[in-house]
């Protein structure tokens, strides 16, 4: 279904200070219910930190110009190839996230943004996409070359006093050229007043608005130029863009319909190209062939089934499958990072030690199908497969640490897949990137 959102583009003079949300480590495979629960839990936790207290008028960016027709300048390149990451200087404070960029030579520089709850940037792009905690139905885009900010309304519910709680979640939910976005939203209204007994502890809410056609909570595909939305599903993951073929791939996690879907960027037509055979499923296509990299598994909780997880290469033309690695449920995580030249991919293998989950990365050659561990196994640090490739040989990702079992001291590393060198890029004060 397709619906128009109310377009609004505004230019702002930039202001200071910052904030972001990122989903922390998943405690199991992203396999459906487990990951959905983690997403919702962390989203609510981060939202409460970001939204209370609300931003004061002095913190709100000043509007310098209102453009009546939305325009989106695409392919604004960052010749310096700067990587954006987020710091939280005081985990106990509200609205204090900071956006920083990392230069290829190791220099760091803070970027001035209005107070934000999420911020994303591709290394090759000069555009920073961010959402503010006081109105997360809007998307702001800052050009760090011209130092200007534009504002877009992603979705607006037709009922008055209805709030759109919007989430982008990951830079990969933004197309590399900035022309399309996948976002999730859920709609709420202020709950009516209610009287509780004197000894009652707790509260209630949020409250949902009356059902409205074409305004369902869930995931949407958004066209930045036309400002139109297409509803995708209640929950999706595994985003991959193919701008040459004008296709977006994603896993639709609808009950009894889970599988790999495509949506045409030109027509909006949605098709399913692979159906899930197991409870735990994710799939990542290669652009140059009909090959899928899949993770799948089963908890083994159902009588007659076995606990397993595995990573598989699947040929859509012949239905042939090759198992590359397998283990028990949740040993292999559903996160795949394919190199730009599609010669290699990484996946995450986990070990469970003393109640904690630690991840290491394995590298697969798609030429000879060889598998080798490229980061060390450790009960002190965990390497995340949800990183970015800065070129065909270099992968940048976040390393999670928790030395005291409570407070995380995370940092960025680069991994050279040819030499195996792991280089620490930042101090241990990175929230996300």
pLDDT at 142: 95
Percent of the chain with pLDDT over 90: 58
**What confidence tier does 202 reach under pLDDT thresholds 50, 70, 90?**
low
Percent of the chain with pLDDT over 70: 78
**What confidence tier does 109 reach under pLDDT thresholds 50, 70, 90?**
very high
> Do residues 295 and 32 lie in contact, with contact meaning Cβ atoms separated by under 8 Å?
no
Residue in 385, 337, 339, 388 with CA at minimum distance from that of residue 124: 388
Block residue for tokens 């760091």? 108
| Rounded mean pLDDT, 176-205 | 80
| Cα 330 to Cα 299: distance, rounded to the nearest angstrom | 8
pLDDT at 355: 65
Tokens describing residue 400? 């999670």
| Cα 269 to Cα 265: distance, rounded to the nearest angstrom | 8
Residue in 101, 116, 236 with CA at minimum distance from that of residue 172: 236
| Rounded mean pLDDT, 370-399 | 92
β-pair partners for 381: 401
| Rounded mean pLDDT, 328-352 | 93
More confident residue, 92 or 52: 92
**What confidence tier does 132 reach under pLDDT thresholds 50, 70, 90?**
very high
Residue 28 predicted with pLDDT over 90: no
DSSP secondary structure code for residue 34 in this structure: H
More confident residue, 8 or 300: 300
Residue 67 predicted with pLDDT over 70: no
> Do residues 212 and 157 lie in contact, with contact meaning Cβ atoms separated by under 8 Å?
yes
Residue 296 predicted with pLDDT over 90: yes
Residue 150 predicted with pLDDT over 80: yes
More confident residue, 226 or 23: 226
Domain span(s) for CATH 2.120.10.30 in the chain: 332-433
Tens-place pLDDT, residues 244-282: 999 999 999 998 899 999 999 999 999 999 999 998 899
Measured CA angle at 176 (ends 174, 179), to 5 deg: 65
| Cα 170 to Cα 151: distance, rounded to the nearest angstrom | 19
> 124 in helix, strand or coil?
coil
More confident residue, 199 or 290: 290
CATH topology for 332-433?
Neuraminidase (2.120.10)
Residue 352 predicted with pLDDT over 90: no
Cα dist. 133→101, 114, 171, 186 in Å? 21, 10, 18, 15
pLDDT at 75: 61
β-pair partners for 329: none
More confident residue, 409 or 172: 172
pLDDT at 107: 94
| Rounded mean pLDDT, 365-382 | 91
> Do residues 366 and 372 lie in contact, with contact meaning Cβ atoms separated by under 8 Å?
no
């Amino acid at each position: 279904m397709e619906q128009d959102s109310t377009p609004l583009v505004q230019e702002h003079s930039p202001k200071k200070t910052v904030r972001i949300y990122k989903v922390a480590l998943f405690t199991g495979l992203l396999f459906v219910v487990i990951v959905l629960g983690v997403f919702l839990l962390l989203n609510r936790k981060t939202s409460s930190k970001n939204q209370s207290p609300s931003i004061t008028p002095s913190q709100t960016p000043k509007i310098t110009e209102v453009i009546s027709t939305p325009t989106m300048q695409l392919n604004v390149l960052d010749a310096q190839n700067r990587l954006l990451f987020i710091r939280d200087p005081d985990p106990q404070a509200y609205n204090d996230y900071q956006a920083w960029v990392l230069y290829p030579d190791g220099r760091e520089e803070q970027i001035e943004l209005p107070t934000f709850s999420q911020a994303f940037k591709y290394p090759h792009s000069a555009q920073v996409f961010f959402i503010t905690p006081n109105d997360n139905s809007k998307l702001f885009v800052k050009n760090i070359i011209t130092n200007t900010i534009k504002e877009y309304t992603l979705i607006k519910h037709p009922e008055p006093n209805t709030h759109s709680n919007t989430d982008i979640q990951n830079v990969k939910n933004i197309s590399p050229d900035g022309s399309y976005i996948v976002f999730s939203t859920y709609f709420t209204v202020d709950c009516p007043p209610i009287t509780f007994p004197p000894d009652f502890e707790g509260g209630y809410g949020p409250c949902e608005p009356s059902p409205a056609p074409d305004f369902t909570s869930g995931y949407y595909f958004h066209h930045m130029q036309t400002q139109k939305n297409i509803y995708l599903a209640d929950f999706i993951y595994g985003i991959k863009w193919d701008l040459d073929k004008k296709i977006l791939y994603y896993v639709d996690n609808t009950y009894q319909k889970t599988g790999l879907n495509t949506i045409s960027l030109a027509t909006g037509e949605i098709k399913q190209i692979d159906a899930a055979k197991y409870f735990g499923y994710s799939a990542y296509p290669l652009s140059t062939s009909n090959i899928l990299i899949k993770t799948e598994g089963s908890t083994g909780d159902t009588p007659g089934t076995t606990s397993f997880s595995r990573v598989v290469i699947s040929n859509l033309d012949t239905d042939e499958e090759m198992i590359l690695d397998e283990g028990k449920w949740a040993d292999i995580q559903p996160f795949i990072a394919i190199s730009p030249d599609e010669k290699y991919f990484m996946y995450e293998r986990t070990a469970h030690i003393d109640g904690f989950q630690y991840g290491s990365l394995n590298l697969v050659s798609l030429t000879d199908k060889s598998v080798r561990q490229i980061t060390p196994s450790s009960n002190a640090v965990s390497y995340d497969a949800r990183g970015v490739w800065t070129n065909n040989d270099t992968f940048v990702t976040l390393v999670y640490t928790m030395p005291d079992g409570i407070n995380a001291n995370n940092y960025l590393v680069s991994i050279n897949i040819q030499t195996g060198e792991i280089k620490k890029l930042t101090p241990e004060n990175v929230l996300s990137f």
